[in-house]
């Protein structure tokens, strides 16, 4: 298979041209910006041959020439890979709004309708996030806009000596080669703030990996809402008004709390308290499960929990114990959609974290563990023992920390203090799950409003990126530069005013389409070394 003739624009060229002008120039000079140029020609039937699209190198202040010889130049394409890309796009955007088709060809630019449609559930979710405005359900910009579908460039993961993701790749290879035992899982845990809580870029990663390596299940889901806009795709989370929901970013939270895997706890005590999850679309079999596991806290003051499945009593869970610890209660069910409800039983209170939804076959599981407004340092307020028990029980092959946007507003915190806190967080992970691979995802462009219509650089974003990049190299993690993916400093305004719109008017959050683009780019970067060496 011969790649199509391509013209590539260096990202450093974009930087030299400056902000938005450079990004616009890159878009004008190349097709398929995410892939660094024109997409390759269609793969041969059977998908055995690989090709790479050329890439643009990542941004940053450090000299990365020493890595140049081993950096992948772009994503790898085979029929299998392209099918997974289309599958994930279709699940999140619909078959008529893809970025590219199963042959790897760019779909004609899609434009939002002139009359804004009635907001879907997912669009309403994104609109509801603090500060969000002008998302895809709100209509399109009135002035001339660039093509949003052309935004985003391929940025490889920086992995120091190149081994940061080797453990993750080994476990994927076992799945691909059929060496995994029935029920074996390759779990990816993604921690972050509002970008992650939206569960769109993480859902793309989930659907893509499950298409290629098997559907191991939906993963961990909180049994209580972190906030009113907490609505994972195709899952309805609900709880009684009297339930006390805490996470470390809340002012009412204790200095050190047993928050479990996700960093969020729900306490039920009264007879009117309840927690419930159920599928929104029972016909969507990809989110069905047969193995459910309740995560909860054992403590001296713990009471009993009544577990109900599809409206029928299924068991009683004892949460009383002399020592505080994380605990787990498993239930095997017939494969299919299930509603899970938990209520207190008798006297006493009980702390519940959530439930995992998995299948009894080998495959990939992606746990989305994002809470809007949080910072990586919040983890230092989690009871380390209860959290370590929870994460080691999940046995992740890879954990991802996608923080930095909220930290960029902490102007009174010295950057050295930020670095010290993040180092402690990473060391906690490496102590709890020493065999897991590690990836840091840096913040994207996050400008500051300086007038009625002016947006200017927020210098702390670059400082945070450099801290994350250097810590990743020091501690053996990978690093993915989301700022470079977006197009560098000043690119967020282009995303927010593009057509179709790729980012919100708040210049913080993406639209659904923008998050899918992020998922595509991150997944490409995550998998390129695996596909080049398998």
Domain residue ranges of the chain, discontinuous segments joined by +: 217-360
What is the pTM for the complete model shown?
A: 0.84
Backbone angles phi, psi at 495, to 5 degrees: -65, -40
Task: Tell me the average pLDDT of the chain.
Answer: 83
Q: What does the pLDDT read at residue 114?
A: 43
pLDDT bin (cut points 50, 70, 90) of residue 54 is very low
pLDDT at 193 over 90: yes
The residue among 387, 421, 372, 393 whose CA lies nearest residue 328 is 393
217-360: CATH, from 3.60.20.30, 2.60.200.30, 3.30.565.10, 2.60.120.1360: 2.60.120.1360
Q: What does the pLDDT read at residue 134?
A: 33
Q: Which residues contact 211 (CB under 8 A, 6 or more apart)?
A: 83, 84, 87, 88
- Of 36-45, 68-77, 136-145, 510-519, least confident by mean pLDDT is 36-45
Mean per-residue pLDDT, 188-202: 97
Residue whose pair of structure tokens reads 């892939």 in the numeric block: 35
Q: What does the pLDDT read at residue 1?
A: 38
Angle made by CA atoms 102, 104, 108, in degrees to the nearest 5: 95
pLDDT bin (cut points 50, 70, 90) of residue 494 is very high
pLDDT bin (cut points 50, 70, 90) of residue 25 is very low
- pLDDT per residue as tens digits for the range 339-350: 999 999 988 899
Percent of the chain scoring above 70 in pLDDT: 80
pLDDT bin (cut points 50, 70, 90) of residue 530 is very high
Q: What does the pLDDT read at residue 108?
A: 61
Q: What does the pLDDT read at residue 60?
A: 37
Q: What does the pLDDT read at residue 441?
A: 98
- Count of CA atoms in the C-beta half-sphere (13 A) of 120: 12
Q: What does the pLDDT read at residue 65?
A: 43
Q: What does the pLDDT read at residue 179?
A: 86
pLDDT at 327 over 70: yes
Residue that wins the pLDDT comparison between 23 and 200: 200
Per the DSSP assignment, residues forming a β-bridge with 318 are 304
- pLDDT per residue as tens digits for the range 97-152: 999 988 888 876 655 444 333 333 344 444 444 333 333 334 344 455 789 999 99
pLDDT bin (cut points 50, 70, 90) of residue 52 is low
The answer to whether 347 and 278 are in contact (CB under 8 A) is no
Mean per-residue pLDDT, 195-213: 97
Q: What does the pLDDT read at residue 128?
A: 40
pLDDT at 293 over 90: yes
Cis peptide preceding 500, ω within 30 of 0? yes
Residue whose pair of structure tokens reads 């000596």 in the numeric block: 161
- Of 208-212, 251-255, 328-332, least confident by mean pLDDT is 251-255
Q: What does the pLDDT read at residue 135?
A: 34
The answer to whether 105 and 42 are in contact (CB under 8 A) is yes
Give dist(CA 370, CA 191) in Å, integer.
5
Q: What does the pLDDT read at residue 286?
A: 76
pLDDT bin (cut points 50, 70, 90) of residue 70 is low
Q: What does the pLDDT read at residue 392?
A: 98
Q: What does the pLDDT read at residue 2?
A: 34
Alpha carbon distances (Å) from 25 to 9, 30, 58, 284, 457: 9, 9, 17, 42, 20
- pLDDT per residue as tens digits for the range 357-379: 999 999 999 999 999 999 999 99
DSSP 8-class letter at 43: P
- pLDDT per residue as tens digits for the range 216-247: 999 999 999 988 888 888 899 999 999 999 98
- Of 261-270, 283-292, 333-342, least confident by mean pLDDT is 283-292
Backbone angles phi, psi at 261, to 5 degrees: -60, -45
pLDDT at 178 over 90: no
Q: What does the pLDDT read at residue 234?
A: 85
Give dist(CA 74, CA 54) in Å, integer.
5
């Amino acid at each position: 298979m011969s790649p199509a003739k391509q013209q590539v624009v260096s990202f450093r060229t974009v930087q030299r041209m400056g902000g938005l002008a450079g990004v616009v120039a890159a878009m004008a000079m190349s097709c398929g910006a995410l892939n660094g140029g024109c997409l390759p020609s269609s793969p041969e039937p059977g998908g055995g041959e690989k090709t790479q699209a050329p890439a643009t190198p990542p941004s940053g202040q450090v000299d990365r020439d020493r890595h140049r010889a081993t950096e992948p130049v772009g994503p790898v394409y085979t029929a299998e890979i392209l099918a997974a890309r289309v599958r994930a796009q279709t699940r999140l955007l619909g078959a008529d709004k893809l970025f590219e088709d199963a042959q790897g060809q760019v779909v004609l630019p899609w434009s939002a309708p002139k009359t804004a449609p009635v907001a879907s559930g997912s669009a309403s979710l994104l609109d509801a996030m603090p500060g969000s405005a002008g998302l895809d359900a709100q209509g399109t910009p009135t002035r001339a806009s660039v093509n949003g579908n052309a935004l985003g460039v391929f940025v490889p993961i920086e992995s120091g000596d190149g081994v940061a993701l080797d453990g993750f790749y080994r476990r994927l290879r076992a799945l691909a080669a059929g060496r995994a035992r029935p029920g074996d899982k390759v779990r990816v845990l993604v921690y972050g703030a509002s970008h992650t809580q939206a569960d769109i870029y993480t859902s793309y990663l989930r659907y893509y990996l499950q298409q290629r390596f098997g559907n191991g299940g939906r993963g961990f889901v909180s049994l209580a809402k972190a906030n009113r806009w907490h609505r994972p795709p195709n899952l309805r989370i609900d709880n009684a008004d009297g339930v006390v929901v805490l996470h470390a970013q809340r002012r009412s939270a204790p200095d050190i709390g047993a928050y479990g895997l996700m960093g969020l706890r729900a306490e039920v005590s009264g007879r009117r308290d309840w927690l419930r999850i159920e599928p929104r679309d029972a016909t969507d079999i990809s989110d069905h499960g047969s193995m459910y596991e309740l995560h909860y806290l054992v403590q001296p003051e713990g009471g009993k929990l009544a577990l109900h499945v599809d409206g029928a009593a299924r068991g009683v869970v004892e949460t009383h114990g002399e020592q505080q610890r994380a605990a787990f209660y498993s239930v095997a069910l017939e494969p299919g959609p299930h509603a899970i409800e938990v209520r207190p039983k008798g006297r006493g209170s009980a702390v519940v974290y959530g439930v995992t939804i998995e299948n009894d076959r080998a495959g990939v599981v992606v746990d989305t563990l994002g809470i809007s407004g949080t910072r990586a340092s919040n983890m230092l307020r989690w009871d380390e023992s209860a959290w370590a028990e929870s994460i080691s029980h999940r046995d992740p092959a890879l954990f991802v920390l996608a923080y930095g946007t909220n930290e960029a507003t902490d102007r009174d915190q010295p950057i050295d203090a930020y670095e010290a806190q993040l180092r402690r967080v990473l060391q906690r992970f490496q102590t709890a799950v020493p065999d897991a691979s590690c990836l840091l995802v840096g913040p994207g462009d996050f400008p500051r409003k300086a007038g009625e219509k002016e947006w200017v650089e927020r210098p702390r974003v670059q400082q945070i990126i450099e801290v994350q990049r250097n810590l990743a190299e020091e501690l053996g993690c990978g690093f993915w530069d989301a700022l470079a993916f977006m197009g560098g400093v000043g690119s967020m305004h282009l995303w927010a005013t593009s057509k179709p719109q790729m980012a919100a008017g708040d210049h913080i959050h993406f639209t659904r389409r923008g998050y899918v683009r992020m998922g595509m780019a991150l997944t490409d970067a995550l998998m390129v070394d695996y596909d080049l060496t398998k």
